[in-house]
Structure 1
Amino acid sequence: MRFGIHSMVWVGDWSEASARFAIESSAKAGYDLIELSAMDPSVFDVEMTARLLAENGLGATASLGLDAATDVSSEDEEIVAVGRRRLFDALHLVRDVGGDMLCGVIFSALRKYDEPATERGVAHSQAVIADLADEAAASGIRLGLEFCNRYETNILNTTEQTLAYIDQVGRDNVLAHLDTYHMHIEERSMRDPVLAAARAGRLGYVHVGESHRGPLGTGNVRWDEFLPALTEAGYDGVVTFESFSSEVVHPALSSTLAIWRNLWSDNHELARHARDFLADRLER
């Protein structure tokens, strides 16, 4: 099992100074990898990022959420085409920095929808994910579908929905990306979905985030159900800590996720606490 940390615990941009701070801080806090926020893959200096990762012995994954202009679940084929290009750019970022996982809300926009998903929109989404998975497989990269709460997507809100969607896509490297923040809202159990995804052979990536997006163990997530379930399932993949505060602002993601409050100010203490919290409760 590897422990990761989301880059927005440290920084909201990806200049060389910010990248160095985020990567060095992640390594010093004892993490194995950093999850890059690839909302706009074009802002990344890939060579610089790969060099800093290598210098610090840190791995990387990348995640993103699409927006209305890049929504691959849209009925508008031009919007789907733009979203497809965004996803392939993010995939190439993962490949070029030596990562092996692209995850997040890559199957729809990360936003509040005004109506249910349409059959045509879901078909568009699945077709793009299938093509993305085929190219990802050539580089040994897996895709993690992060199902989210009903206020952030109308496609996938639960583990059960995600497993059914993955079956329809029919690619071995497309996996379920579980996130405790969203599960806390949508699932009836914090244990059963973990075991269901594992039984299906689709438990591929994990985000650990508190119910209020702040420090682990200070909200309402049932950690005594979720974390032992990972051990019970024999999960040996990545567990990435994700937390957001108005202390660190990303121009797009902070607003999309409604990060209006300052839930912490000392990101070094936050990161160390999360690392210790996980290490104390998970077998490595």
Structure 2
Amino acid sequence: MSAVAERLPPGLDVACHLNVLLADPGSDLIASALDAIAARGFRRVVLAPVDADAFDAAGFRRLCEARGLTAIPIAGQSPGADVSSSDPQVRAAGIAALRRMVGLAAALGSDQLNGVPYGLFGRAPSAAPVDAWRRSAAAVGEVADEAHERGVAMVFEVLNRYETALVNTADQAMAYAEASGSPHLRIHLDTFHMAVEEDDLAGAIRTALPRLAFLELGQSGRGALSRGAVDVADVVRGALDAGYEGRWGVEAFTAAILPEPARDALAIWREPYRDGVHLTDDAVRVIRAGWASSTVGRRAARLSRAQVPTVGTAP
């Protein structure tokens, strides 16, 4: 692997989605992918959805821990296991599925569970019924409290209208979290989805700030963070200046890497990039630029300069 020009700022806790570099955690290339992620200063790796009962959590945990990384799994729902369903059996199956994913997070040594725990992924034929929204919130809040007891924070992602009808904006996310009744349920915002739904990205971040635990950086075209409609560096600066102290994520998808089922589910039919390692290097540069222009980054730079001994001064 070539020398790494830059690493992420040491004060930022940033995760990289594994699918940026690799389609399958079971690939023979997993070790080199994790090496590349760790070498650039990422602290965590986000998994694509996996079967909690079949996934080798102990083995993957060892791979991550050897590189100073921690895995973050993703929870989801299915037609037969959906917490928003009016069918009590389907709803109970949805809760059971979430509990299994909490168990997987714990087995991976993670204190965070991401994903879409509140309902089915995919475009809905109509707006979500209020009753479905309430059922979902109550169930997810229940599991969030249980997860908290196990040292795991449940963090739900806000998606655009083409991927869910339940929660699309920061305002809705805050309302959903409050309706859950759980003080432990946290919010995951993603700039890719925000660019579709929010008229003010900085304002949306401020709205969600009391419960915001994961701010994911994704570009409008799903490719490099430096090229697209979203000024990602400005989002980083604005969030830091607003007082955000939570975790960050980097996400990008390309048909050159994703397996076919994921390509179809996410509508990733183009190749905005071919080399995931180069994409992570680009992400590091963009994040560093935003951090450097923020109050936090400028303060860190001043402290760094003040600690450098002047010529003729003993170290």
State the TM-score, normalizing by the size of structure 1. 0.93
2:252 counterpart (243, 257, 271): 243
Structure 2 residue aligned with 1:234: 243
Are 1:154 and 2:179 an aligned pair? Answer: no
Kindly provide the amino acid, as one letter, of the partner of residue 274 in structure 2. S
Q: Please, which moves more after superposition, 116-125 or 166-175?
A: 116-125
Q: Which residue of 2 aligns with 1:276?
A: 285
Secondary structure of 2:208's counterpart equals helix
Distance 1:253 1:66, change over 3 A: farther
Residue 124 (structure 1) aligned to one of 125, 131, 135 = 135
In the aligned structure 1, how far is the partner of 2:33 from the partner of 2:64?
A: 10
SS of the residue 1:272 aligns to? helix
Q: 1:115 to 1:72 in 2, by over 3 A?
A: same
Could you tell me which amino acid in structure 2 is paired with residue 58 of structure 1?
Answer: L
The letter of the residue matching 2:224 is P
The answer for the alignment partner of 2:313 in structure 1 is none
Specify the alignment match of 1:5 in structure 2: 16
In the alignment, the residues of structure 1 paired with residue 228 and residue 212 of structure 2 have an alpha-carbon distance, to the nearest angstrom, of 25
Which structure's relative contact order is higher, taking Cα pairs within 8 Å and 6+ residues apart? 1
Q: Which amino acid in 1 is paired with 2:237?
A: P
Larger strand percent: 1
Q: What is the TM-score with the length of structure 2 in the denominator?
A: 0.84
CA deviation string 1:117-165 (max 9, x = no partner): 1233122211221221122111221111211111100110000001011
Superposed, 1:136-175 pairs within 5 Å as: 136-175=147-186
SS in structure 1 at match of 2:225: coil
Which structure 1 residue ranges, 5 or more long, are not aligned? none
Give 2:66's aligned residue: 55
Report the alpha carbon displacement of residue 222 of structure 1 after superposing the two structures with TM.
3.2
CA shift at 1:70, angstroms?
3.1
The 8 Å contact of residues 191 and 229 in structure 1, kept in 2 or not, is answered as yes
2:277 is aligned with 1:261: no
What does 1:52-91 align with in structure 2 at a 5 Å threshold?
52-91=63-102
- Stretches of 4+ aligned residues off by more than 4 angstroms: none
For residue 232 of structure 2, what is the aligned residue in structure 1?
223
**Which residue of the partner structure matches residue 190 of structure 1?**
201
Report which stretch shifted further, 41-50 or 204-213. 41-50
2:77 aligned with 1:93: no
Correspondent of 2:123 among 88, 107, 112: 112
Partner of 2:6: none
Q: 1:22 to 1:41 in 2, by over 3 A?
A: farther
Cα distance change, pair 142–132 in 1 and its aligned pair in 2 (3 A) = same
The whole-number CA distance in structure 1 between the counterparts of 2:74 and 2:140 is 14
The one-letter amino acid paired with 2:281 is: R
Residues 19, 71 of structure 1: alpha-carbon distance in 2 compared, 3 angstrom cutoff: farther
Residue in structure 1 matched with residue 25 of structure 2 by the alignment: 14
**CA 1:152–1:28: 2 relative to 1, 3 Å:** same
Mapping of 1:192-207 within 5 angstroms?
192-198=203-209, 201-207=210-216
Q: Say what the alpha-carbon RMSD is for the aligned residues.
A: 1.8
Q: Write the distance in 2 (CA, Å) between the matches of 1:253 and 1:4.
A: 20
- Aligned pairs, how many? 282
Q: Structure 2 matches for 1:11-50, cutoff 5 A?
A: 11-15=22-26, 17-50=28-61
